């Protein structure tokens, strides 16, 4: 009995936590004060030049990928229209069933599969070969392909439901559908945000309850201090896919949960983990999901209005070739998708800025909540493995959906300089030791 218990205890023994690393000299406050600019530079200099060149190249390549993604997708949608293939898929759906909603669902399933097949070369390059060439993916080809198939199945099922609802609105309200349809889209986005952590994440990963009290206790304490309604902490095995560190606080209406990924647990010290969790709790406490849905909702209303306008102009002119009858005809979906993706492409800086502003707010909240400016700076450096560390201001404005590493480290060092009670003479032994 005793050896069995010992074996069990050993098996359950948590791995060692990463020890906190001391801040660089310029950020230590040993001289009695901290110059935020000098402290920021000292942190930025910790990232080896070679690694910095690599993450700059990866991130800048992403700017171009946004353009290639749009152009490639536009080509696919145009091909479906010009060859009459979209109309043929609609004709087939109409032969199979007389029920209009089922025709829409069936068309959507065919459309999704055809688009996935035609877009496969680009996604193979972008999501498999490119990620591997930068050392950012841990998936084998089989594992990656399996995830693609799961994603395809999910978008067939949930996308069909959304399309059936959307087209029902378009057909009943052909003149004002863009307004009501945007409402339908927002409801589906909210639904996705609600079910993703609980029903979708387990399709790709295996979340489990985190039991290590050394990590759980301070996180739950931080949660209680900030009104986050969660009593458990979860761990998700993201190392299956990549080495990216991440966490989130998700859910509403009783589905709240705090989740850390295993990369964060295995690669970050407790002060870094606390800094990251303070940020994630900020998203939750500041109601970013609701605010984001409203802001993105405005972007969608304007986008649907643009689609309604463009659809009217282009459909009539190409009626004989495309055989799209009206805006309620599902065969016109590639045209609607073409117009909407063009709109989103133009709106990229706006959408990025909506998200980035929330990220800055969560950063500020997290610094105040966790009071770990060095942990915050160190985790910002880890995120710079795949995000350019020190961009030009206009570059950050256009392309960044999170603040850059430099902006985040500067924010942390300014906070630290202005809160000497956390490191200066006012700090107690206990505060200094973690
Ligand atoms: Zn965030």
Identify which has the larger pLDDT, 434 or 41.
41
**Cα 370 to ligand 1 centre (Å):** 15
Average pLDDT over residues 282-296: 94
Comparing CA positions, the residue from 355, 349, 367, 211 lying closest to residue 281 is: 367
- Indicate the SS3 state at residue 290: helix
Residue 388: which pLDDT band, with cuts at 50, 70 and 90? very high
Please check the confidence at residue 12 and state whether its pLDDT lies above 70: no
Distance CA 249, CA 234 (A): 10
Min mean pLDDT across 155-159, 272-276, 286-290 is at 286-290
Give the model confidence (pLDDT) of 80-139 as tens digits: 999 999 999 999 999 999 999 999 999 999 999 999 999 999 999 999 999 999 999 999
Give the residue-averaged pLDDT of 348-370.
Answer: 97
* pLDDT number for residue 183: 94
Phi, psi (degrees; rounded to nearest 5) at 400: -95, 125
For ligand 1, the distance from its centroid to the CA atom of residue 273, given in whole angstroms, is 14
For 329, half-sphere exposure in the C-beta direction (CA atoms, 13 angstrom radius) is 20
Q: Which of helix, strand or coil describes residue 249?
A: strand
**Separation of CA 269 and ligand 1 centre (Å):** 19
- Backbone angles phi and psi of 245, in degrees to 5: -90, 140
Put the strands of the sheet holding 247-250 in their side by side order. 208-209, 233-236, 257-261, 247-250
Phi-psi region of 235 (alpha: psi -120 to 50; beta: other; left: phi over 0): beta
> Which residues, other chains included, contact 399 with Cβ-Cβ below 8 Å and sequence gap of 6+?
62, 63, 66, 348, 349, 352, 391
Q: Are strands 257-261 and 247-250 parallel, antiparallel or unpaired?
A: antiparallel
CB atoms within 10 A of CB 13: 9
Alpha carbon of 388 to ligand 1 centroid (Å): 17
Q: Cβ distance 16 to 385 under 8 Å?
A: no
User: Would the CA dihedral through 99, 101, 107, 109 be positive or negative?
Assistant: negative
| Closest to 399 in 3D by CA, of 349, 346, 335 | 349
Confidence of residue 14 (pLDDT cuts 50, 70, 90): low
Angstrom distance (rounded) from CA 260 to CA 278:
12
Given the DSSP bridges, would you call strands 208-209 and 247-250 parallel, antiparallel or unpaired? Answer: unpaired
Residue 231, φ and ψ in degrees, nearest 5: -115, 0
Cα 162 to its chain centre, rounded Å, is: 21
Measure 20 CA to ligand 1 centroid, in angstroms: 22
Q: What is the mean pLDDT of residues 348-352?
A: 97
pLDDT digits (tens, 9 = 90+) for 244-259: 999 999 877 677 789 9
Q: Quick one: average pLDDT of 9-38?
A: 83
- Name the pLDDT band for 218 (thresholds 50, 70, 90): very high
**Extended beta strands in 181-269, E state:** 208-209, 233-236, 247-250, 257-261
pLDDT at 88: 98
Structure confidence by residue, pLDDT tens digits, 126-155: 999 999 999 999 999 999 999 999 999 999
User: How far is the CA of 156 from the CAs of 1, 163, 166, 333, 344, in angstroms?
Assistant: 52, 10, 15, 15, 22
Which of 139, 89, 87, 82 has its CA nearest to residue 109?
89
CA–centroid distance, residue 431 to ligand 1 (Å): 26
Q: What distance in angstroms lies between residue 204's CA and the mean position of ligand 1's atoms?
A: 21
Q: What is the mean pLDDT of residues 388-405?
A: 95
Give CA–CA dist 247/372, Å, rounded. 17
CA of 362 to the centre of ligand 1 (A): 6
In this structure, what token pair is assigned to residue 207? 């979340």
Q: How confident is the model at residue 11 (pLDDT cuts 50, 70, 90)?
A: very low
> Ligand 1 mean position to 54 CA, how many Å?
23
Ligand 1 centroid vs 258 CA: distance in angstroms? 13
HEC string for 159-195:
HHHHHHHHHHHHHHCCCCHHHHHHHHHHHHHHHHHHH
Residue carrying structure tokens 């559908």: 177
352 vs 431: which has the higher pLDDT: 352
d(CA 70, CA 375): 38
| Residue 64, pLDDT above cutoff 70 | yes
pLDDT at 424: 79
| Res 341 pLDDT > 50 | yes
Work out the average pLDDT over 351-371.
97
Centroid of ligand 1 to alpha carbon of 387 (angstroms): 14
State the average pLDDT for the chain: 92
Whether the CB-CB separation of 369 and 226 falls below 8 Å is answered with yes
- Buried b / exposed e across 250-277, counting CB within 10 Å, b at 16+? bbeeeebbbbbbbbbbebbbbbbbbbbb
Ligand 1 (ion): residues with CB under 5 Å are: 359, 362
User: What Rg, from alpha-carbon coordinates, does the chain have?
Assistant: 25
CB atoms within 10 A of CB 87: 20
What DSSP string describes 363-380? HHHHHHHH--HHHHHHHH
Distance 24 CA to ligand 1 centre (A): 25
């Amino acid at each position: 009995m005793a050896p069995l218990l010992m074996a069990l205890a050993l098996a359950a023994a948590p791995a060692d936590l990463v020890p906190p690393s001391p801040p660089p000299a310029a950020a230590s406050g040993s001289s009695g004060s901290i110059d935020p600019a000098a402290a920021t530079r000292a942190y930025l200099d910790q990232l080896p030049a070679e690694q910095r060149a690599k993450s700059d190249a990866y991130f800048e390549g992403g700017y171009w990928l946004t353009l290639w993604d749009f152009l490639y997708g536009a080509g696919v949608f145009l091909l479906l229209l010009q060859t009459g293939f979209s109309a043929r898929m609609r004709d087939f759906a109409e032969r199979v069933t007389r029920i209009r909603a089922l025709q829409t669902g069936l068309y959507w399933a065919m459309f999704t599969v055809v688009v996935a097949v035609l877009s496969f070369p680009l996604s193979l390059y972008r999501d498999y070969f490119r990620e591997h060439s930068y050392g950012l993916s841990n998936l084998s080809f089989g594992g990656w392909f399996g995830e693609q198939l799961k994603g395809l199945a999910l978008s067939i099922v949930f996308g069909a439901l959304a399309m059936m609802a959307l087209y029902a609105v378009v057909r009943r309200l052909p003149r004002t559908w863009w307004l009501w349809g945007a409402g339908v889209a927002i409801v589906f986005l909210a639904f996705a945000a609600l079910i993703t952590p609980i029903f979708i994440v387990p399709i790709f990963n295996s979340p489990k309850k985190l039991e290590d009290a050394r990590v759980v206790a301070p996180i739950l304490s931080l949660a209680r201090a900030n009104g986050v309604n969660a009593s458990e902490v979860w761990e998700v095995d993201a190392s299956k896919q990549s080495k990216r560190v991440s966490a989130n606080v998700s859910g509403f209406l009783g589905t709240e949960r705090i989740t850390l990924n295993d990369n964060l647990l295995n690669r970050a010290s407790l002060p870094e983990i606390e800094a990251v969790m303070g940020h994630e709790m900020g998203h939750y406490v500041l109601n970013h999901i609701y605010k984001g849905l409203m802001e993105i909702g405005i972007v969608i209303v304007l986008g649907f209005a643009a689609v309604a306008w463009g659809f009217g102009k282009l459909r009539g002119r190409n009626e004989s070739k495309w055989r799209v009858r009206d805006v309620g005809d599902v065969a016109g979906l590639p045209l609607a998708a073409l117009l909407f993706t063009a709109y989103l492409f133009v709106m990229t800086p706006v959408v990025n800025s909506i998200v980035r502003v929330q990220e800055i707010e969560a950063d500020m909240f997290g610094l105040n909540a966790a009071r770990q400016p060095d942990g915050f700076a160190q985790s910002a450096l880890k995120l710079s493995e795949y995000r350019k560390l020190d961009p030009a201001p206009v570059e950050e404005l256009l392309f960044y959906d999170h603040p850059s590493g430099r902006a985040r480290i500067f924010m942390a060092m300014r906070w630290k300089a202005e809160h000497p009670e956390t490191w200066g003479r006012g700090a107690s032994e206990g505060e200094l030791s973690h």
